[in-house]
Amino acid sequence: MNAQRRRALILSLALLALSVGALLFGLGIGSTGFQSVLAARHDPIALQIVWDIRLPRTLGAWLAGGLLGLAGAVAQGLFRNPLADPYLLGSASGASLGVAVALLLFGASPSTTQWVIRLGLTGAAFVGAVVAVLLTLALARGVQQTLRLLLAGVIVGVVLGAVKDLITIQSADILVALTGFMLGSTGLVGWSACALMAIFGASCLLLGWALAPVLDGLALGESTAASLGLPLGAMRAALVAVLALATGAAVAQTGLIAFVGLAAPHLVRSAVKTTHAWLLVLSALMGGLLLMTADLGARWFIAPQELPVGVLTAVLGGSYLLWLMHRRSLRGGA
Amino acid sequence: MKWFSRAAAACAVLLIHIAAAQAVQVTDERGIAVDLPRPPQRIVTLLPSLTEAVCEMGACARLVGVDRYSNSPDAVRALPQVGGGLDPNVEAIVALKPDAVLLAKSSRVTQRLESLGLKVLVLEPKNHADVQRVLAKLDEVLGTHEAPRVWRVIDASVSAAAQSVPPAARTLRIYFEVNNAPYAAGESSFIGETMARLGVRNIVPAALGPFPKLNPEYVVRANPDLIMVGERSAAGLEQRPGWAGIRAVREGRICRFTAAESDVLVRPGPRMGEAARLMAKCLSDKAP
């Protein structure tokens, strides 16, 4: 047990060190290349590029990835399903619907335009994501039955996605902006977005860490968890809240980024067997490192142009999962 | 000494007047007033129709960056590209040190650029009246007086194109396909407005909105006499179920526009006159 804890500690330190390295690396990568860093001392524009664009977007990618990794670990523990991901309760469709509605209302009339400007697309996405989860909870009549919750989440996701499609068909000119959101991008993250994500990330991580014993209990089965004497209903509700808020905060700032939430907990589990308290922290760190690395790649591969980071995480995460499944099936067959 | 101070005072007053005359406040399409201390000299546009408009007004030299899809006039092809509407590149835009960024209202980058201290103007022409209004706004922004002339040229070219349409073509009922989803250009779109000026009828009424997504069956029943479509989405048009019976397909009245021509046709900007000429040529070629 002690050896496992030491491994977890070493892994977390290694992930942190790699993240810091990637963060520093990220300062030098972008469409204007490394010379912006050299010129930053005397050129205010270069300083702005390094300090106000590259640093917050790299840090933002880490924070968003962390939020998604945390949400993924919570979802997989909560639903006792290794294929659960942060978007399971309808957050993704809700957020895209929020953005679609905001784009539709923008310019529809002066008063609605004012509203949209005040709320912003990020605000609309966050509201959409949270409302979708609330809808799922209402449909599932609470959090007692995991299967019901799962089904309700899938249904809400499909229905909200369809409503979003209806809206885009009505006004085709928002299609491009919406596609941009659905691909996911860390390019628009500024310091205020970083601060918001940091606040959400810290509180969600603390709450998740405090609730981790429930996840450990759930891993042994519902009845075992109940027999531990924990207030299961309330703690489950709190975990759903962590899942919804962490996902909503990440999605609002960066759009729909695939696979980070799904892959991060698996990566951690393949390296170390540990309790959920550690798993949550490690998944957050792993998710952060994953998305940050993907963001660096997105900026680097075809510089001075850039790839949508969501595409890159889908390709990387997807191939990792395929490999994982392949390895499992080999081991199962042997 | 006295005359000197008086002269200095007069100069100061004059300078303030010049400065006041140069500084402008422009209200963009969000209803937000943007202060421009002087007419911008380093402009980035993120919408092809705005790029074309700025160039048409003689300010092409003031452009320092454009979006990936801006390809006209030729002068802008040499400019740095700063991404597209899907994926604007914030860093590349800032690195160009623009003193004004012109973009479409659905662009996601607006807030981010403003928070970095750039002047952002949201201008997006969607129909003929919009184009005229956006041109006037650009005059305010650029400090030029070109809008009336540019609009007169567009208007005159559309009128000239209308006169070149043979009388026999005026009875034709047209289906203009924007892409093969299929999205059509309705009467209330700028393409529909141009068609109306050319004196032909559109099978898609204004009630359906500017660019409605149609059921292919709708087109079959409307039975248009002529189809205008871009080369890219024209492939397999005749093979769509039931379309072989449409009069335009039966009688071979389909105008396929090349990619470059399609760019001209689907951008509400200064090349609307050229678009009208392209449509008029199609009508003359295919007139019964």
CB pair distance less than 8 Å for A176 and B106: yes
Residue A333: its pLDDT value, please? 46
Q: Is B29 on the interface with A (CB under 8 A)?
A: yes
Residue A317: its pLDDT value, please? 74
Q: Which residue has the higher pLDDT, A330 or A71?
A: A71
Closest CA to B112 of A102, A303, A121: A121
pLDDT at B2 over 60: no
CATH number at residue A153: 1.10.3470.10
A37 pLDDT band, cuts 50/70/90, is confident
A319 pLDDT band, cuts 50/70/90, is confident
Residue B19: its pLDDT value, please? 47
Q: Are residues A312 and A258 in contact, defined by beta-carbon separation less than 8 angstroms?
A: no
Q: Are residues B226 and B283 in contact, defined by beta-carbon separation less than 8 angstroms?
A: yes
Average pLDDT over every residue of B236-262: 89
Q: Are residues B173 and B203 in contact, defined by beta-carbon separation less than 8 angstroms?
A: yes
Average of per-residue pLDDT values in chain A: 86
Average of per-residue pLDDT values in chain B: 87
Domain range for residue A307?
A: 2-333
Q: Which domains does chain B have, with CATH numbers?
A: 25-126 (3.40.50.1980), 150-286 (3.40.50.1980)
Residue B238: its pLDDT value, please? 85
Q: Is A31 on the interface with B (CB under 8 A)?
A: yes
pLDDT at A332 over 70: no
Average pLDDT over every residue of B55-60: 92
Distance (Å, rounded) from C-alpha B86 to C-alpha A175?
10
CB pair distance less than 8 Å for A187 and B87: yes
Distance (Å, rounded) from C-alpha A298 to C-alpha B94?
19
Q: Is B231 on the interface with A (CB under 8 A)?
A: no
In Å, how far from its chain's centre is CA A197?
A: 11
User: Nearest chain A Cα to B115, which residue?
Assistant: A190
Cα of B33 to nearest chain A Cα, Å: 13
Residue A243: its pLDDT value, please? 92
Q: Which of A53, A177, A308 is closest, CB to CB, to B107?
A: A177
User: Nearest chain A Cα to B92, which residue?
Assistant: A31
Domain count within chain A: 1
Distance (Å, rounded) from C-alpha A25 to C-alpha A18?
10
Q: Is A302 on the interface with B (CB under 8 A)?
A: no
- State yes or no: ipTM above 0.95: no
pLDDT at B15 over 60: no
Residue A287: its pLDDT value, please? 94
Q: Is A305 on the interface with B (CB under 8 A)?
A: yes
A334 pLDDT band, cuts 50/70/90, is very low
Q: Is A35 on the interface with B (CB under 8 A)?
A: no
